[in-house]
Amino acid sequence: MNKRKNWRRILERKHIHNAKRRDKRVSKARAIYLHRQWKHQIKLFPQEIQRKICILTWRFFWREFIPITAKVPSWQIRANAVTQELWLAREKNIHFSHLSFNCIPENKKWIMGCQCDSCLNDTEVPLINKHCHSLVQYRNPAYFADVFMPSEFTGNWNDHYSFAGPTVVKVFDPLCDSYKERSFTRKLRTGETIAFETI
């Protein structure tokens, strides 16, 4: 009795499977037939209507089509983020080597004048040494770029000012937030009011 039930189940499953395959074949053949029939019926129209259908079809195609040259490149989002971070680094006086795309937080060491979180909260370098570096930088403006920074970090990011065409742009101020910082620069950085008669 159980063997008959099992055979019936097997035959029913085969029958259902074959019916599904047959339905797929029929639906595929029907779709091909309808597609061919659609093309055939368009050919039965007069030439003028066929042209108008062709023109409308191409118009609808070009409305949805976006050429590759008009699409935003895949790297554009990252480039915008890097440009924004470079702008904020100049504004907040963060050294180039302490930006998120240049250094992992564990490898950051204190840099004179840098306003990133790791430099502001640094406890490895004693405060007296930080003041000494600021004093030497105040007396010798080339100290930061030539002596304090390693030779691998050469470039205009170690300079206080840089030329951008005919204008001079502030890049990085090593005396930022030190006792030797110029009062005008401090007022600009903190947003205090500036009396222009005294300049």
pLDDT-above-70 percentage for the chain: 73
Q: Please state the φ and ψ torsions of residue 167, each to the nearest 5 degrees.
A: -105, 155
Amino acid at 118: S
Answer whether residue 19 shows pLDDT above 80: no
* Cβ neighbours around 123 below 10 Å, total: 7
Tell me which residue has tokens 């504004």.
91
Task: Tell the residue number behind the tokens 């060491």, with chain if given.
Answer: 109
Question: What is the reported pLDDT for 82?
Answer: 92
**Between 60 and 9, where is the model more confident?**
60
Over residues 110-145, the pLDDT tens digits come to 888 888 888 888 888 888 888 888 888 888 877 877
Helix ranges restricted to H, the chain:
2-43, 47-64, 76-92, 117-120, 127-139, 143, 183-190
- Note the pTM of the prediction, 2 decimals: 0.57
Q: How many other CB atoms sit within 10 Å of the CB of residue 190? A: 8
Quote the Cα angle for 12-18-23, to 5°: 125
- Calculate the alpha carbon distances from 6 to 3, 13, 14, 18 in Å: 5, 11, 12, 18
Q: Is the pLDDT of residue 84 over 90?
A: yes
CA distance 158 to 143: 10
| 157 within 8 A of 172, measured Cβ to Cβ | yes
- Per-residue DSSP letters for 139-156? H-TTHIIIIIS-GGG-SG
With H, G, I as helix, E, B as strand and everything else as coil, classify residue 163.
strand
Q: Give the H or E element holding residue 72.
A: none
Task: Name the maximum alpha-carbon separation found in the chain.
Answer: 110
Strand partners, 167: 164
Return the pLDDT at 77. Answer: 92
Read off the pLDDT band of 107 (50, 70, 90): confident
Angstrom distance (rounded) from CA 44 to CA 26: 26
